[in-house]
Copies of this chain bind each other. A is one copy, B any other.
């Protein structure tokens, strides 16, 4: 643990040491507790309490808590329940961070031609909650959620910008149509309360994001996913994010209660382990927050909190073409075509419509991502709790799509509005190590850059 990071590590169960966690992670005397910063922090910390309490009630075991603060402002609280009665691993983490982003990233994100100096940096604030829960029973699905808020401060006479992002998605090992109707139905109802167009749009965005391209299948059975949301009044989007977060327990816990004592066979457990292997493949190979966190020297335990306790890779595993494993594969190989809820929610069963084949990878392949730099004035990159905080921008997407070439293009891609506050929160090694970690990522980068360039040159 470096001197930069003040970490409070609490090993005892059930939030012992709770009194050591500050009432607020905002900057005392600087951030207005009644601003969106304050409201969002209170919301996610309330959700952390709510979700952890619901999980503990079902599981019978307690979360342990690791809390940390950063001297330059902000901090986080990670709660993990490992080897419980129902869950093999469940984690819920919140973080609140401050920093400054390069002006060019900002300019691209905002989509306006703002003049700036080479070294200009724009102050930002980011807060988020992130969670993954892996149960033991193969009839109980894994669930993941993430809600985040990002804003910049006023800069050069331009008012601060802001975006919301988030989503909740479910990853079962078997298709249980009733469960999926319940989960998707819950989120359709949430969306419909705010914008009737949102559920369909966000369901497809989720299918696209969680695609594992090399498998030609999604990680799970989706849910909702949104990014860069800033198309209406800030309070309205906050209300939507809050509504989403407040329905996590309702969307998930009844499914667990229903199945937690279901009997299962060795074959079913093995199949779950293989699907857990796919979960690892998605997170380590494609997930934006995870990759960025790993390559920028984040706190590894927080970044990889999302990985299951156990996973398996079985060479050329074949399933019974008539069996439930094949039915599952049919779903994840045609995620976009699955409609889990009808307009009259709750009355439609599994329907694989003849929807046109999705453009695999969808938006993701065009997403550009950015980065944040902390405000300790050490010029050090950091990432925040993985998957917790990031956003991308339609403007940078357009830039990527139009294929700006050369340094400019790469800089746009690299800097692009996207602010990947991919995770860490220190407890990081020293800044030199962090930079070394970044540099060391070069090999894989060039390799993947190749694949990228090849595709465009053919």
Chain A contact residues, CB within 8 Å of chain B: 66, 80, 82, 89, 91, 102, 211, 213-216, 273, 277, 280-281, 284-286, 288, 291-292, 294-298, 300-301, 303-305, 307-316, 359-361, 364-371, 379, 381, 400, 405-411, 413-416, 420, 429, 433, 435-455, 457-458
Contact = CB atoms under 8 A, between A and B. Distances in A.
Nearest to A422: B447
A437 to B, nearest CB: 5
Contact of A284 (B281, B301, B400, B435): B281
A400 B447 CA distance: 13
7 contacts: A216-B433, A284-B284, A285-B294, A291-B447, A296-B451, A411-B453, A414-B453
Contacts of A440: 211, 213, 360-361, 364-365
Contact of A214 (B89, B300, B370, B371): B300
B285 A444 contact: yes
A446 B413 contact: yes
Contacts of A66: 316
B458 A381 contact: yes
Contacts of A301: 315-316
Contacts of A360: 433, 436-437, 440
Contact of A89 (B298, B308, B315): B315
Given A315-B89, A316-B66, A443-B361, A295 B369 contact: no
Which 9 pairs, one residue from A and one from B, show the smallest C-beta to C-beta distance?
A361-B440, A438-B455, A406-B406, A213-B440, A307-B313, A414-B453, A365-B442, A284-B284, A406-B407
A410 B406 contact: yes
Given A216-B429, A315-B91, A292 B447 contact: yes
